[in-house]
Structure 1
Amino acid sequence: MKLLLAILMIHTCSYAQDFENVAIDELVDREKKIIDSIVENELKDRKNLPKEVVIVQLSDILKSPTQTVHISKGAKLINLLTGDQELLTKDIYAIAYTRPDSSGYFYLKNNTGAPKYKTLLKNLTDISQVTQMYEPPVYYRPISETDRPKEMNDTELNFTTEFNLHLGATNPGFTKDLVNDSHIGRLLGYEAQIYDNFSLPFSIGATLLYETISANIGEGSENYNSNALSLGALVKFSPIDFFGLAFITSLGARTSAFSKINEQRSEETLSYNLSKNEIFGAVQYVITINDINATLGISFKRQWIKASSNEFRTDLSNDNSFDDSISVTIGHLARWP
């Protein structure tokens, strides 16, 4: 640091000043001799240059960045203190300044940090990136029998919870025969899912769905409303990349815990108990905003339905035993822990 400080102070002075007296006295004798020796030897090779120019050039070199280099056996180095050429008898590693002098030579640091040698660029191989790849060794002590835990069980449960809102429409077959009217139903559903965090190429979980279906039938204000609570199992598959977007597909089956439909006619109200079994498939895209995971998808399902009543007998065709529906899903998922 003392050497560099002296060089910078010399560089800021006017060329008209006496370079031999400004700031050099602040250096210790050894560092002063090194600078003087380098300057004198440089002047021998470049007699047309003023001493001031040589000092300024040396200052610029010592202010330039450094890099780690490899120099092969047989390369020629020039001693900056004596001007002698020295032939390397083995490969060496050194620190080189990246700014050359006016003759194209690059200066090399010695162990004390002072410039001692110079050589041509052809003799230098930059290995800075290689040295940055070094990682210190990691030492460990084997676990002794006394330190070894009695049991090593993973008690943490890794799972995902998901809540979805279903908005869609039905294409009824069974319900059309039940209410004796062709129509399209309006579907609203609330679903909760829980499944593991894809420890395999797929996840296995459970699903719980509460849904309502309503539609206008007949004439005037006639309509029906149905509701059902269903539960079942599902399988979710690992994300699939499609046009740069990751989509999650799922398949599952549910059965109704209870289900009922109320048919409102102009002169009477009819009620039926329903039994539903369904299969479904869905495709979802996960959107992450500020660490919040939202889902957007589409779901299709087919329900096989049976109806019964305590008030009267239901006599329906077996040709239409199911209803189909499709819905858009909007949801939120959270991964635990």
Structure 2
Amino acid sequence: MLEEELFAVLRLQATPNVGDIIAKKLIRNVGSAEQVFKENASSLLKIDGIGAFVVQQLHKRETLIKVEKEIDYIRKGTIQYTYFLEESYPEKLQHCVDGPLLLFYDGSINWNQPRIISIVGTRNLTNYGRGFCNELISELTPYNPIIVSGYAYGTDICAHKAAMENNLQTLAVLAHGLDDMYPKTHKKYMRSMMENGGFLTEFWHNEKPLRENFLKRNRIVAGLSKATVIIESAEKGGSLVTADIANSYNRDVFALPGRCDDLFSKGCNNLIKNNQAHLLTSAEDIVKMLNWDVTKKQEYTQPKLFIDLTTEEQKVVDYLQEHGKQLLDVIALDCEIPVYKLSSLLLQMELKGIIKPLPGKLFEV
């Protein structure tokens, strides 16, 4: 990105009452961030959802002064950044309507790796939660996922440390700029974090860890990953906000159950009870739900080698190999087989040991 465009992007970020959603709308309608500030007011007002107050905010003098300071810092080359229209921008965040306009990062990160999970929970992690978190990440190691969390006390730092101990990439999403570190006691892990992943934030370099920043940070934690895991949570807490955001993004949420009278299991138990999270008892639950079972995928070729299949049976097997578990109606539609005929076909395939029925009219090879 050219410096002129970067300057305009930062200017949009600094403009009061112009959040990520409005900024993206402006950019997509006029072609670039730089053009937003060149466009005349009457043209901007024609954009759906853009009013006179927003247009007026775009040209405040104090915004330019802030941007000059930040661009000077970026010129020093101490941090890296990625823009929402660039290929380097995290792919999963591209699908979040309120994903950050610009992200700053440091470390050795490959966040476009397909297997990414976020692990969050209470800061008052119990021995039960800590033991489960460590065991979960250890069991997931063969699948080489990136572990995302918020670098806070309790669950967050436990997840980061377990990832590093198992030589997995781990990414800390910060609620402040990269020139600061919160909590201070976690500075001792920074070097290892940089070697095994790194740090990511939407906040400018000198931004402090304000209370409201943590809630904004949570949407990045949820948006970066395919699934969010809640290890422990009280009845109210930031991790429940993260779970709610993940559900709004149509991502999978998993929660560790606990005893009904445990304070730091109430949040997780409620998520499960209200069908807002899958019950999590082991890494296998995540592996199956996210279709990470590489061994099973390799074994899918066996029906072709050792069982005589009809043309339609082979068509269904090929489809399920490619797409993983699917609904009966979806299989019928995509394979162009009438539902009444497919039901009988699937029953015969089940008896042959080729496919397995799952709850909710789902089937897998």
- Normalised by the size of structure 1, how large is the TM-score? 0.17
More strand by share: 1
More helix by share: 2
- Normalised by the size of structure 2, how large is the TM-score? 0.16
